[in-house]
């Protein structure tokens, strides 16, 4: 069920966005097609008709350039969601999203204004258990976070016709806007639209970024770079290695941004906002609005990553789990479909190494006779190739390279 994670390597590889063969269609035609009564996008019963052609439906939806927000605004999905979004009964949120259980676990909040040894210790503990934590007093002004989130909201709430002009999956220019970045890979679609942006090493040409989010996403990218450096310092120190170790490995230099919009979903128990996955990179830096829905898996429980005003969510990715020889944990997380009228907005920045030909594996400082390496070494190019050939599944990177 695990699908391509949002916004990791996709950026510079043309293979990243498995787009079906182009079929020229005018906007209006696309819209007519999706709205025609013969389209099973209007079919919402759990039982697909015998002649149900899922790929055709998916493609029609993509060609319509509506995204889920446009589908909702078109009036097509105000009470029920099309079949392409229905996840199989055994793979739906359980228990239903409206009755989230209380759990004994929680995602730690680390106050970065505490003395450094305390911060390092708390980040180490969170990273080696839940794999997620939130940081406060991090130096990024609240209004900068709000500006970023509000810009993403404003873009998604533009009239559908204006957004359609930006709708495409290819990342050749370093920016895309589409629904479900994994639309053609996943078995069931989810209820979100996403702007993806290559953030580093080379951000896109500003004129290729939709104007409504242009300044804000570029500014956010700079904030994340500053914050990321501090963060990598804490994470390195927690491992007992030189403070600059992860930074020197270029772990911050390959960044991708995914700005997600999760509108109201009329049937949130049939689908997801984003299905369960781990992030393949080093660390992810994420801001979210007040709506909530992000959950992290702790044992068999799904624990809410509660929105905290001004806080920034950090999670460990697969590469850092490997580099740390399993001291840090890359943990599965997901987003429930949004049952509220207020949309959920989040902006994730995936920090990856930029060095694709160097060898990555457990840090030699962390390996000894008593603590053997859990992984073999690999290059990012190798990983990317396997990743896009879909040779890997589940906790892709960690399982594949595990010794």
Ligand X SMILES: O=C(O)CCC(=O)C(=O)O
Q: x-or-dash pattern for Fe ion, window 275-314, by CB under 5 A?
A: ----x-----------------------------------
Q: Is 30 in the site for ligand X (CB under 6 A)?
A: no
Secondary structure class of 206 (helix, strand, coil): helix
Kindly determine how many residues on this chain lie close enough to bind ligand X according to the rule CB under 6 A: 13
Q: Does 258 bind ligand X (CB under 6 A)?
A: yes
- Do 324 and 363 form a contact (C-beta atoms < 8 A)? yes
216 binds Fe ion (CB under 5 A): no
Task: Report, in Å, the least distance between residue 23 CB and ligand X.
Answer: 28
Separation between Cα atoms, residue 62 and residue 60, nearest integer Å? 5
**Which of 11-19, 230-238, 286-294, 358-366 is the region at the interface with ligand X (rule: CB under 6 A)?**
286-294
If you count them, how many residues does the chain have?
A: 403
Q: Site for ligand X (CB under 6 A): which residue of 86, 198, 260, 395?
A: 260
| Least Å from the CB of residue 48 to ligand X | 29
Are 97 and 302 within 8 A, CB to CB?
Answer: no
Structure tokens at 385: 């190739």
Task: Choose between 63 and 182: whose C-beta lies nearer to ligand X.
Answer: 182
Beta carbon of residue 30, minimum distance to ligand X (angstroms, whole number)? 27
Tokens of 263: 């509108």
Among ligand X, Fe ion, none, what does residue 274 contact (CB within 5–8 Å per kind)? Answer: ligand X
3-state secondary structure of 382: helix
Contact at 8 Å (CB) between 346 and 260? yes
Q: Which of 68, 83, 195, 294 touches ligand X (CB under 6 A)? A: 294
Long-range Cβ contact pairs of 174-177 (< 8 A, separation 24 or more): 174/11, 174/198, 174/202, 174/203, 174/204, 174/205, 174/208, 175/204, 175/208, 175/209, 175/210, 176/17, 177/67, 177/210
Contact positions with ligand X (CB under 6 A) in 314-333: 333
Q: Does 274 contact ligand X by CB under 6 A?
A: yes
Choosing among ligand X, Fe ion, none, which partner's interface includes residue 346 (Cβ < 5 to 8 Å by kind)?
Answer: ligand X
CB-count exposure of residue 366 (10 Å: 0-12, 13-18, 19+): middle
| Residues near ligand X (CB under 6 A) | 5-6, 258, 260, 274, 279, 286, 288, 294, 333, 335, 346, 348
| Residues near Fe ion (CB under 5 A) | 279
């Amino acid at each position: 069920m695990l699908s391509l994670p949002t916004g990791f390597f996709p950026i510079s590889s043309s293979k990243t966005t498995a787009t079906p063969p182009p079929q020229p269609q005018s906007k209006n035609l696309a819209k007519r097609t999706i709205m025609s009564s013969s389209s099973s996008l209007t079919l919402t019963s759990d039982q697909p008709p015998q002649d149900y052609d899922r790929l055709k439906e998916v493609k029609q939806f993509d060609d319509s350039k509506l995204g889920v927000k446009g589908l909702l605004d078109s009036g097509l999905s105000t009470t029920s969601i099309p079949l392409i979004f229905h996840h199989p009964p055994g793979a739906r949120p359980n228990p239903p999203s409206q009755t989230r259980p209380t759990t004994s676990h929680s995602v730690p909040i680390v106050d970065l204004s505490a003395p450094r040894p305390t911060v390092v210790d708390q980040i180490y503990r969170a990273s080696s258990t839940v794999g997620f934590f939130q940081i406060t007093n991090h130096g990024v002004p609240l209004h900068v976070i709000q500006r970023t989130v509000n810009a993403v909201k404003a873009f998604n709430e533009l009239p559908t016709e204006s957004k359609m002009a930006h709708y495409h999956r290819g990342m050749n220019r370093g920016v895309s806007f589409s629904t479900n970045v994994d639309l053609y890979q996943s078995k069931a679609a989810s209820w979100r639209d996403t702007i993806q942006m290559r953030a580093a090493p080379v951000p896109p040409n500003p004129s290729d970024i939709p104007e409504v989010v242009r300044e804000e996403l570029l500014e956010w990218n700079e904030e994340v770079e500053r914050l990321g450096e501090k963060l990598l310092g804490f994470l390195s120190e927690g491992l007992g290695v030189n403070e600059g170790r992860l930074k020197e490995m270029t772990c911050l230099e390959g960044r991708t941004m995914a700005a997600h919009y999760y509108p109201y979903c009329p049937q949130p128990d049939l689908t997801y906002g984003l299905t369960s996955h781990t992030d393949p990179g080093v660390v992810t830096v994420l801001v979210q609005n007040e709506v909530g829905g992000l959950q992290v898996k702790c044992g068999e429980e799904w624990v809410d990553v509660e929105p905290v005003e001004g806080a920034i969510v950090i999670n460990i990715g697969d590469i850092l789990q490997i580099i740390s020889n399993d001291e840090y944990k890359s943990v599965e997380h997901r987003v429930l479909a949004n049952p509220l009228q207020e949309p959920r907005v989040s902006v994730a920045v995936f920090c990856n190494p930029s060095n694709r030909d160097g060898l990555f594996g457990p840090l030699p400082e962390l390996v000894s006779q008593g603590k053997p390496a859990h992984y073999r070494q690999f290059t990012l190019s190798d990983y990317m190739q396997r990743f896009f050939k879909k040779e890997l599944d589940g906790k892709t990177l960690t399982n594949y390279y595990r010794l």
